[in-house]
């Protein structure tokens, strides 16, 4: 897989792309990530990439010429051009799985008041937002999308089943995790996790995931694939019963 990130501020990506899972995935050859300075595609001595909006108003707008030139130089069969934009569809684990199947992603980082509308209409294949809040530009969303996608690639994680166990991976939030010591300041690790009974541990973890999701993100339960037993647990939660501590 290859991911190309088009930005006015390439220095933002230097550290994150070298560390942790992203860094290891690049070293192992699982993904190639390019960071392209948009100014290199701008014309003129001053490499201007933005201008005042027609009709007036505050702020600047990214010009179409450098964005089209940059993307057209990068694009190849199988490429998908994504504009990181607050007006785009909401990013989710399902969208990350969808993008992980794409051979080549080109991520466009918006800035200022946004991009010329012709970029949205005639250059981008998709628009993605990571949430309903305002950021300075599309660089942090590009990193979020890149991280979420790369960790889904085969071989990126030590445990191939790990993505399915993460929060949202199976449609629920993850339950709690514990490590040594067994007791810390009087707080003990739940007995189920110390029992050595793998079936009991699996039941406990699933019940805790359901409990946490029901309390914090009940909206996720509307689309989660629940067994009849799990649906019964949810009904018990609604009537005041808690899972095994």
Nearest to 109 by CA among 97, 124, 94: 124
162 pLDDT above the threshold of 70 = no
Quickly tell me which residue has 């800035």 as its tokens.
111
Alpha carbon of residue 236 to chain centroid: 33
Residue 141 confidence (pLDDT)? 98
Per-residue pLDDT, averaged over 177-181, amounts to 94
Per-residue pLDDT, averaged over 143-171, amounts to 80
Residues of the chain above pLDDT 90, percent? 89
70 pLDDT above the threshold of 80 = yes
3-state secondary structure of 131: coil
Question: 230: which residues sit within 8 A by CB, 6+ positions away?
Answer: 206, 210
Quickly tell me which residue has 């860094």 as its tokens.
23
Known active-site residue 2: no
- What are the pLDDT digits (tens) for 79-119? 999 999 999 999 999 999 999 999 999 999 999 889 999 99
Residue 58 confidence (pLDDT)? 82
Which of 40, 65, 98, 113 is an active site residue? 113
Which of 16, 53, 86, 190 is an active site residue? 86
| Threshold 0.85, pTM exceeds | yes
Which of 151, 163, 206, 243 is an active site residue? 151
Euclidean distance between CA atoms 37 and 7, whole angstroms: 5
Known active-site residue 166: yes
Sorting pLDDT into bands at 50, 70 and 90, what band is 158? confident
Residue 234 confidence (pLDDT)? 96
- Asked if residue 41 lies in contact with residue 73, where contact means CB atoms within 8 angstroms, the answer is yes
Q: How large is the C-alpha radius of gyration of the chain? A: 23
DSSP 159: S
Per-residue pLDDT, averaged over 137-141, amounts to 97
78 pLDDT above the threshold of 60 = yes
Known active-site residue 121: no
Residue 118 confidence (pLDDT)? 96
Residue 159 confidence (pLDDT)? 66
Sorting pLDDT into bands at 50, 70 and 90, what band is 169? low
**Virtual torsion, Cα 220, 225, 226, 227, nearest 10 deg:** 180
Euclidean distance between CA atoms 122 and 73, whole angstroms: 16
Known active-site residue 86: yes
Which of 40, 65, 98, 166 is an active site residue? 166
């Amino acid at each position: 897989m290859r991911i190309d990130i088009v930005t006015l501020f390439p220095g933002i990506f230097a550290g994150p792309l070298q560390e942790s899972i992203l860094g290891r995935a690049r070293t192992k050859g699982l993904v190639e990530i390019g960071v392209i300075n948009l100014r290199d595609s701008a014309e003129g001595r001053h490499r201007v990439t933005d201008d005042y909006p027609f009709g007036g108003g505050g702020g600047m707008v990214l010009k179409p010429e450098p964005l089209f030139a940059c993307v057209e130089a990068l694009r190849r069969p199988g490429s998908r051009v994504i504009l990181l934009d607050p007006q785009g569809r909401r990013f989710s684990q399902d969208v990350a799985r969808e993008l992980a199947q794409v051979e080549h992603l080109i991520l466009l980082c918006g800035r200022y008041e946004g991009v010329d509308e012709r970029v949205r209409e005639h250059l981008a294949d998709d628009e993605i937002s990571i949430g309903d809040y305002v950021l300075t530009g599309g660089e942090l969303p590009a990193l979020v999308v890149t991280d979420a996608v790369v960790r889904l690639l085969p071989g990126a994680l030590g445990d191939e089943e790990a993505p399915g166990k993460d929060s949202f991976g199976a449609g629920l939030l993850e339950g709690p995790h514990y490590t040594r010591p067994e007791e810390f300041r009087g707080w003990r690790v739940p007995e189920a996790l110390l029992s050595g009974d793998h079936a009991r541990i699996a039941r406990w973890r699933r019940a805790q995931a359901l409990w946490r999701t029901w309390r914090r993100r009940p909206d996720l339960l509307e689309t989660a694939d629940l067994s009849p037993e799990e649906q019964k647990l949810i009904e018990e939660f609604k009537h005041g019963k808690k899972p095994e501590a």
